[in-house]
Amino acid sequence: MIRQNRNLLIIALIAVVNALGYGIIIPILYSYSVRFGLSDFQNGLLFSTFSVCQFLSTPIIGRLSDKYGRKPLLIVSISGTAVSFFMMAFAPSAIFLFLARALDGITAGNIPVASAVISDTTTQEQRAKGFGIIGASFGFGFIFGPAVSALTVTRSVSLPFIIAGIISLIAVVITFIFLPETNKHLGEVKHSPLFNFKILYHAFFDKNVGPTMLITLFNAISFSLLIFAYQPFSLKILHLSANQISLLFTLFGVVGFVTQIFLVHRLVKLVGLKKLFTASTLLIAVVFFVFFFIRSAWPFVAASVFLGLSNSVIQTLIPTILSQETDAKSQGSIMGLNASYMSIGQIVGPIVGGIIAAFGLSYPFLTAGAFSLVAYYLSFFVLKRGVKKESAF
């Protein structure tokens, strides 16, 4: 498939480089920010700062990519990420951490735009495999990103952020030189405001994409609760070091890579897209409830493997489902809207997690399981109506 579609290889390379950057900083962001005197609740606000800005920017970037093209918006987006990493590395105070996360959020349109490139260049039958390749590329980046973090954080706490910034600049160069424009419907979008709360609201109730958007929302809340609670839980309850946490993230990258490159498209053929999607949402909920009762490292690692497997399936199938629930001219817009719903979840999750963690560091896992059960219920309603002939987005 990659041999037949050169754009897939380029996007995969961009995804690898991009994921390397994030894989480097995510395992150490909590311990790095604590050095600036931030409390757990303030850390929740730091995580949410990125998501608030991402929520506002991603539908704009997605819509602009429908109007002006995927390539220029990818370049702008990844460049902003690179600058934000350098700001984190050389931050003189906590306020610069917040400014860096805000900048990264404002320009955080690379994932929905990259997803739109896949929609532009594949058939509906190929998209599950196409999104799986991209997901596997992110997984590949997350294998080596945390490993780089584990190897470099002991030398200098800012070095991982510098490396992440350099890697992101490489992604900018790859995009500029090698990626052709894939949008064949430039300018063929309805005239409306770039950021439209009305569209965001109507997507919530849309008969085609509404359930999928809600699943994105609740899944994002669940995983934001996880990401917020994971590091303090690992440090304070499981007594793991920053290096060990980075190695755990490497393990998740391995699981994600294997799942998305070797398993997802085969499982879709074996059991069907919708059944696989539903089963994966249920498994995620079960694993979160298991996390709540764990108090030692090895069971936590084992449960995390199942979580990584099921989440890799979900992250591949959501854009696949959305691409079938809307028309070809609006792929960038719908991916941008989906990213906005993800951002809402990522705003709510850390703030709720910061409040709930005051009662116990394991309680965010219980809450995440409850949200995941709602996503499981909604999974029965995706792909009910088929593809719209003319999208409202």
DSSP secondary structure string, 149-209?
HHHHTTT-SSHHHHHHHHHHHHHHHHHHHHPPP--TTTT-S----SS-HHHHHHHHH-TTT
| Eight-state DSSP code of residue 39 | -
pLDDT at 109: 67
Would 19 be classed as within a structural domain?
Answer: yes
**What is the residue whose two structure tokens read 């702008």?**
76
Q: Is 150 within 8 Å of 250 (Cβ atoms)? A: yes
Q: Is 328 within 8 Å of 144 (Cβ atoms)? A: no
pLDDT at 387: 47
* Rg (alpha carbons) of the chain, rounded to whole number: 19
Task: Report the number of distinct structural domains present in the chain.
Answer: 1
State both tokens at 138: 């992110």
Q: Is 32 within 8 Å of 157 (Cβ atoms)? A: yes
**What is the residue whose two structure tokens read 């424009």?**
181
pLDDT at 389: 45
State both tokens at 351: 């703030």
| Eight-state DSSP code of residue 77 | H
Would 186 be classed as within a structural domain?
Answer: no
pLDDT at 385: 57
Which residues does 360 contact at the CB level (< 8 Å), separation at least 6? none
pLDDT at 27: 78
Would 390 be classed as within a structural domain?
Answer: no
pLDDT at 365: 94
Q: Is 102 within 8 Å of 216 (Cβ atoms)? A: no
**What is the residue whose two structure tokens read 């730091």?**
46
> How many other CB atoms sit within 10 Å of the CB of residue 52?
18
The model's pLDDT over 153-193, given as tens digits with 9 standing for 90+, comes to 888 888 989 998 998 898 899 889 888 888 877 766 666 55
Nearest C-alpha neighbor of 45 from the set 349, 338, 356: 349
Report, as ranges of residue numbers, the positions in the chain whose pLDDT lies below 50.
Answer: 386-389
| Global confidence as pTM | 0.70
The model's pLDDT over 24-79, given as tens digits with 9 standing for 90+, comes to 877 788 788 888 988 877 887 887 888 788 777 877 887 788 888 889 998 998 89
Spatial separation of the C-alpha atoms in residues 226 and 228, rounded to whole Å? 5
Q: Is 89 within 8 Å of 158 (Cβ atoms)? A: yes
Q: Which domain holds residue 361?
A: 6-178+197-381
State both tokens at 202: 């109507």
Would 389 be classed as within a structural domain?
Answer: no
pLDDT at 363: 92
The model's pLDDT over 112-123, given as tens digits with 9 standing for 90+, comes to 788 788 878 777
Would 391 be classed as within a structural domain?
Answer: no
Spatial separation of the C-alpha atoms in residues 113 and 116, rounded to whole Å? 5
Which residues does 103 contact at the CB level (< 8 Å), separation at least 6? 53, 80, 83, 84, 87
CATH of the domain at 133: 1.20.1250.20
**What is the residue whose two structure tokens read 């219920």?**
377
Q: Is 139 within 8 Å of 256 (Cβ atoms)? A: yes
Would 164 be classed as within a structural domain?
Answer: yes
